[in-house]
């Protein structure tokens, strides 16, 4: 399980025994570094960052913390240990041995799944590349960089699979992952949410809360895969993903804490007064939440999808926590409820569950997301405020599936184009909201100091104090 760091590419997959693969990856490595230099964290080259690096994949001792220049970070290939007896536990191949190689008939679909997942990893680094210039503290700057290097490693995880198991096409896809760019007009990233901007730190915290959580659910579904190397690599990625969601959840909590403090000090809920005091008003936070939530639930895909059925039945992608479910794990003849518009109103209808597995995963994500919004509301409750954040309706602001193009209010009421236009600025962040939040951004780089719109964290990283020098500038 230990990771070999004496190799050019750290790994726990005996890369040295596979010369062809080693050569292919060593050829890809300089292109990765060029990509990092070109579109990775801006102006960060000389920074020494207090980062954690994986040393082994067992849950106890996998992380070591030290100062690292990010472009010297030891990106590598880390798989969870193999279980020689592992069986496929869902779909038409249930009970057969898990695959150590890619079956010919599933090759195209598996490649597509791996490329789509792989594409999101560098995309988020690109989306976040300017944020280091406006960090609200050294603590936050370090967390941003930790997320960035780990998304880079997730790219390595997918590139390993492409290069080891998909021959020439895999090598081409690995190259293309470094060529597409988030938001690029001609060669954008594959999925919509990964072409949106992450313009400020409130957006970053919402992104890491919601969109990295999409990552968690996708990875968890892939961790069930019959293709064992994919299952093992995504299991290890999930342990890294947990930190990304922590950054988002605690980040928004700290923003709320500061906002509540200002509201209590001024005894006001007037957004203009809250803003004048340099905090972010709750309405703006709610609108950011509405945006990131709706854009992220689109990532799960169309509510009815024959691809989703094929991926499940052929064993490529399971459900979240497939092993804990007590049904037959084949799902033929079962149904699931999806939404559609009937007579101008949203209504549920039953459809074959296999075709609705995107919706099943989306609903699992929604449950998990709403639980965290509840924890955010505890911050408001503790501060004695009556206001609460809420998740918008599943049909709000959707661009994918049966709900795309239907105008629905955050409460779930179908509305006219006119009402949508009139209310859009109450429901989604407006240019004025973005401009206001941008006006608060500015680097705070003295250890232990925090920007005025965010409270300090309760504790530091790896038991260090909050005023620890998490980033040293060269
Ligand atoms: Fe990731
Ligand atoms: Fe992530």
Q: What is the mean pLDDT of residues 177-191?
A: 97
- Please name which ligand lies nearest the alpha carbon of 151: 1
Cα(316)–Cα(321) distance, rounded to whole angstroms?
15
What integer is the mean pLDDT of 189-214? 96
In tens, the pLDDT along 46-81 reads 999 999 998 877 766 678 899 999 999 999 999 999
Q: How confident is the model at residue 321 (pLDDT cuts 50, 70, 90)?
A: very high
If you measure from the C-alpha of residue 258 to the centroid of ligand 1, how many angstroms do you get, rounded to a whole number? 29
In this prediction, residue 61 carries a pLDDT of 63
Write down the pLDDT at residue 1. 61
Q: For residue 121, what pLDDT is reported?
A: 98
Sheet holding 63-69, edge to edge: 63-69, 48-54, 471-472
Q: Give the mean pLDDT of 147-169.
A: 97
Q: What is the mean pLDDT of residues 137-152?
A: 98
Ligand in nearest proximity to the CA of 146: 2
CA 241 to centroid of ligand 2, rounded, Å? 5
Query: Could you tell me which residues come within 8 angstroms of residue 413 by beta carbon, excluding any fewer than 6 positions away?
Result: none
Residue 37's alpha-carbon distances to 46, 70, 248, 274, 437, in angstroms, are: 12, 10, 25, 39, 28
Residue 154: nearest ligand to its CA? 1
Distance 150 CA to ligand 1 centre (A): 7
Compute the distance from residue 156 Cα to the ligand 2 centre, in Å: 13
Q: What is the largest CA-CA distance in the chain?
A: 68
Name the band, by pLDDT with cuts 50, 70 and 90, for residue 347: very high
Separation between Cα atoms, residue 325 and residue 180, nearest integer Å? 38
pLDDT score of 2 more than 80: no
Q: How far is the CA of 37 from the centre of ligand 1 (A)?
A: 19
Contacts of 201 (CB under 8 A, 6+ apart): 131, 134, 135, 136, 140, 251, 441, 454
Q: What is the pLDDT of residue 375?
A: 98
DSSP 456: P
d(CA 117, ligand 2 centre) in Å: 11
Q: Is the pLDDT of residue 445 over 90?
A: yes
Predicted pLDDT at 62: 75
* % of residues, the chain, pLDDT over 90: 94
- Report the candidate in 419, 400, 436 with the shortest Cα–Cα distance to residue 288: 436
The arithmetic mean of pLDDT across residues 328-346, rounded, is 95
Distance from the alpha carbon of residue 145 to the mean position of ligand 1, in angstroms: 13
d(CA 67, CA 435): 35
CB crowding 412-449: b at 16 or more within 10 Å, else e: eeebeeeeeeeeeeebbbeeebbebbeebbeebeeeee
Residue 432 clears pLDDT 70, i.e. is over it = yes
What's the 344 CA to ligand 1 centre distance in angstroms? 39
Ligand nearest the Cα of residue 209 is 2
Residue 149 pLDDT > 70: yes
Closest listed ligand to the CA of 210: 2
User: How far does residue 375's CA lie from ligand 1's centre (Å)?
Assistant: 24
Q: Report the share of the chain in percent with pLDDT over 70.
A: 99
- From the CA of 341, how far away is ligand 1's center (Å)? 35
Residue 124 has pLDDT above 80, yes or no: yes
Distance 220 CA to ligand 1 centre (A): 12
Which ligand minimizes its atom distance to the CA of 212?
2
Average pLDDT over residues 422-428: 98
Residue 396 reports pLDDT greater than 80: yes
Mean pLDDT score of the chain: 96
- pLDDT of 6 reads 85
- What's the rounded Cα separation, in Å, for the pair 233 and 78? 7
- Give me the pLDDT at residue 289, please: 98
Tokens 């009970």, residue located: 95
Q: What is the mean pLDDT of residues 434-460?
A: 97
**Could you tell me the distance, in angstroms and rounded to a whole number, from the CA of residue 159 to the centre of ligand 1?**
13
């Amino acid at each position: 399980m230990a990771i070999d760091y004496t190799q050019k590419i750290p790994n726990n997959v005996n890369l040295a025994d596979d010369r062809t693969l080693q050569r292919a990856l060593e050829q890809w490595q300089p292109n990765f570094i060029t990509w990092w230099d070109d579109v990775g964290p801006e102006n960060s080259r000389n920074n020494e960052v207090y980062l954690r690096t994986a040393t082994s994949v067992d849950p106890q001792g996998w992380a070591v913390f030290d100062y690292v220049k990010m472009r010297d970070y030891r990106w590598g290939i880390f798989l969870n240990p193999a279980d020689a007896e592992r069986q496929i536990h869902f779909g038409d191949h249930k009970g057969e041995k898990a695959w150590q190689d890619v079956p010919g008939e599933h090759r195209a679909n598996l490649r597509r799944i791996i490329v789509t997942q792989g594409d999101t990893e560098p995309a988020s680094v690109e989306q976040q590349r300017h944020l280091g210039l406006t960090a609200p503290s050294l603590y936050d700057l370090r967390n941003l960089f930790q997320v960035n290097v780990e998304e880079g490693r997730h790219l390595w995880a997918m590139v390993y699979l492409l290069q080891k198991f998909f021959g020439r096409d895999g090598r081409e896809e690995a190259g293309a992952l470094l060529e597409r760019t988030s938001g690029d007009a001609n060669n954008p990233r594959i999925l919509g949410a990964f072409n949106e901007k992450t313009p400020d730190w409130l957006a970053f915290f919402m992104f890491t809360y919601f969109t990295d959580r999409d990552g968690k659910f996708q990875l968890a579904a892939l961790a069930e895969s019959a293709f064992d190397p994919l299952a093992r690599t995504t299991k290890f990625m999930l342990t890294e993903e947990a930190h990304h969601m922590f950054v988002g959840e605690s980040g928004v909590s700290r923003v709320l804490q500061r906002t509540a403090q200002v509201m209590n000090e001024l005894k006001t809920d007037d957004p203009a007064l809250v803003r004048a005091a340099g905090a972010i008003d709750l309405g703006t936070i709610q609108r950011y939440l509405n945006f990131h939530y709706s854009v992220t639930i689109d990532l799960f895909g169309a509510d009815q999808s024959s691809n989703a059925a094929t991926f499940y039945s052929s064993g490529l992608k399971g459900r979240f926590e497939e092993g804990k479910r007590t049904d037959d794990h084949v799902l033929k003849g079962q149904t699931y409820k999806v939404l559609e518009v009937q007579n101008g109103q949203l209504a549920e209808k039953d459809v074959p569950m296999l075709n609705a597995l995107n919706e099943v995963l989306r609903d699992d994500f929604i449950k998990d997301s709403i639980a965290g919004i509840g924890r955010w509301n505890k911050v408001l409750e503790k501060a004695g405020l009556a206001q609460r954040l809420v998740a918008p309706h599943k049909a709000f602001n959707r661009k994918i599936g049966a709900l795309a193009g239907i105008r629905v209010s955050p409460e779930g009421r179908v509305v006219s184009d006119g009402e949508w236009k009139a209310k859009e600025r109450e429901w989604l962040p407006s240019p004025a909201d973005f401009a206001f939040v941008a006006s608060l951004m500015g680097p705070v780089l003295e250890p232990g100091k925090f920007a005025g719109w965010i409270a300090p964290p309760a504790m530091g990283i790896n038991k260090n104090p909050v005023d620890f020098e998490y980033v040293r500038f060269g």
